[in-house]
Amino acid sequence: MQISSRFSVAIHVLSLLALQQEDDVLLTSERMAGSVNTNPVVIRRILGQLKKAGLVEVRPASGGTFLTRTPADISLLEVYRAVEVVEEGQLFSVHDKPNPKCPVGRNIQSALDDTLQQAQQAMEQVLAGVTLHHVTTDIQQKAITMC
């Protein structure tokens, strides 16, 4: 089972916001959906989560969405948490009712917990070390003109 593409879509959307120029036409959910190639409602749902996390400011009605921070101040881990692809500390699901009468069943959960937490944290630390700025810089190296 994979981690939802909401995460990559969120990064895509934030990249568009980071790279938008002042003289650009406003980025509406419609236009962002065009770049991601999905439905505008999918974008709005994700924008709602990013707004809730305080990463973006959305202007209803007139359109237009803006970052509340510099791209260099937004880590991918924050984005990951914002779109709630995985609840905190729950990357691995563990079978929840092992037989308490069996020594293995009784102790397997605590025996695994530590390792699984570490594995998850190792993954998240990589995301914590990469910012939106890194992503947009990479994109810019390959292309200049915007949507």
Partner DNA sequence: AGGATTGTAACCTCAGTAGTTACAAACAAA
Partner DNA sequence: TTTGTTTGTAACTACTGAGGTTACAATCCT
Show Cβ contacts of residue 54 under 8 Å, excluding neighbours closer than 6 positions: 68
Question: Residue 50 Cβ, how far from DNA at the closest point, in Å?
Answer: 9
Which of residues 68 and 140 has its CB atom nearest to a copy of itself in the complex?
A: 140
Burial of 80 (0-12, 13-18, 19+ CB in 10 A): buried
Question: Residue 137 Cβ, how far from DNA at the closest point, in Å?
Answer: 26
Question: Residue 57 Cβ, how far from a copy of itself at the closest point, in Å?
Answer: 20
User: Measured between alpha carbons, how far is 139 from 34 in angstroms, rounded to an integer?
Assistant: 18
Residue 66 lies near a copy of itself (rule: CB under 8 A): no
Residue 127 lies near DNA (rule: CB under 7 A): no
Query: Residue 90, SS3?
Result: coil
With CB under 5 to 8 Å by kind, the binding choice for 72 among DNA, a copy of itself, none is: none
Residue 147 lies near a copy of itself (rule: CB under 8 A): yes
User: Measured between alpha carbons, how far is 63 from 77 in angstroms, rounded to an integer?
Assistant: 27
Instruction: Report the candidate in 33, 57, 35 with the shortest Cα–Cα distance to residue 44.
Output: 33
Residues that bind a copy of itself (CB under 8 A): 1-5, 7-9, 11-12, 15-16, 19, 34-38, 76, 85-86, 90-95, 97-99, 101-108, 110-112, 115, 118-120, 122-127, 130, 134-135, 138-139, 142-147
